[in-house]
Amino acid sequence: MGRDNRPLIIVLAFALVAASAPGTLKPALHGDFDHYTFALTWQPGICTTDGGCLPDQPRVPLIGLHGLWASRPHGLIEQGITDPQWWSKGCDYYVHSDASPPLGAALRQSLDGVMPHFEHSLLTHEYDKHVQCFGFDPTTFFSTELVMREALVESAFGKYLVARAGHVVTHEAVTAQFDSAFSTRASASLQLQCEQNDTGQVVLTQLWVTIRADAVAAFPRAGSLMDAPTNQDTCPASFLVPAWP
């Protein structure tokens, strides 16, 4: 079982909030996009589907971090690039890089504690596909992700999900809890991702939340949320919120 990185994450979160860093999350390039998708992982789900996670995967926390994805820039829309094409290639439309993001050791350790451990580095993939072409400062960008993740984990909605690990829930109940926790009518801001696990059960693997591009600093307050323009929810009417085997 991996060690709990919560104290280090909280220290980073307080330092970031004190410096008002979320307000500085502004792209230097290609900033003509409308929203972000904030992707969180349900670790026992994503690690028991598809190729799974590496043996060193931490077993805490349950809610992990995938990434923060800018929507299709208007410049690409004008070139006829579709949403599915953008989702597939991301920053490769501008420049491709296999380089790992230049981050300090403490920040890397915090990210390692909450991101799924895949065969190929998820951190490097996220930096390549969703960060580097926008000119974001990597330290600010990934620190902001940690603060956002912690805010959701510590919310009533995050605690609701954790309390239901190992239980079957209804899609309607999860959405209602999200709406209530964040006092929002933008129910379609939350898109749940489900897959079949190794034993054939349909399980929760990810949570995608749509955020206005100019409201990252306000997340997860209601004013930061917007309905997703495209329905990509893949969870049925009821599904398992898995616990670790």
The single-letter DSSP state of residue 198 is T
3-state secondary structure of 233: coil
Q: Assess contact for 194 and 202: CB atoms under 8 A.
A: yes
Q: How much is the pLDDT for 198?
A: 84
Residue 19 or residue 187, greater confidence: 187
Provide mean pLDDT across the span 84-112. 96
pLDDT at 66 over 50: yes
**Mean pLDDT lowest for which of 20-29, 153-162, 198-207?**
20-29
Largest CA distance in the chain: 49
Question: How far is residue 74's CA from residue 26's CA, in Å, rounded to a whole number?
Answer: 16
Query: Residue 12: what pLDDT?
Result: 43
Could you tell me what percent of the chain has a pLDDT over 90?
Answer: 87
Asked whether 121 and 115 are in contact (CB, 8 A), the reply is no
Give 138: exposed, middle or buried? Use CB within 10 Å, 0-12, 13-18, 19+.
Answer: middle
Q: What letter would DSSP give residue 24?
A: G
Q: Which residues contact residue 56 at a Cβ distance below 8 angstroms, ignoring those fewer than 6 apart?
A: 2, 117
pTM score, whole prediction:
0.90
Q: In the predicted model, is pLDDT for residue 67 greater than 60?
A: yes
Mean pLDDT in residue range 77-101: 96
Which phi and psi angles does 51 have, rounded to 5°?
Answer: -85, -10
The string of pLDDT tens digits covering residues 116-147 is 999 999 999 999 999 999 999 999 999 999 99
* Residue 7 near residue 174 (C-beta atoms within 8 A): no
Each residue of 212-224: pLDDT tens digit? 999 999 999 999 9
d(Cα 203, Cα 222) in Å, to the nearest integer?
27
For residues 64-73, average pLDDT: 98
- Collapsing DSSP to helix, strand or coil, 55 comes out as coil
What was the pLDDT predicted at 24?
59
- The CATH homologous superfamily to which domain 6-241 belongs is Ribonuclease T2-like (3.90.730.10)
Which pLDDT belongs to residue 31?
A: 96
Least confident of 9-18, 60-69, 116-125: 9-18
H or E element, residue 195 = strand 190-196
Q: Does residue 209 contact residue 38 with C-beta atoms inside 8 Å?
A: yes
Whether pLDDT at 81 is above 80: yes
Average pLDDT value for the chain: 91
Residue 60 main-chain phi, psi, to 5 deg: -135, 145
For residues 100-111, average pLDDT: 98
Instruction: Report the pLDDT value the prediction gives residue 1, as an integer from 0 to 100.
Output: 35
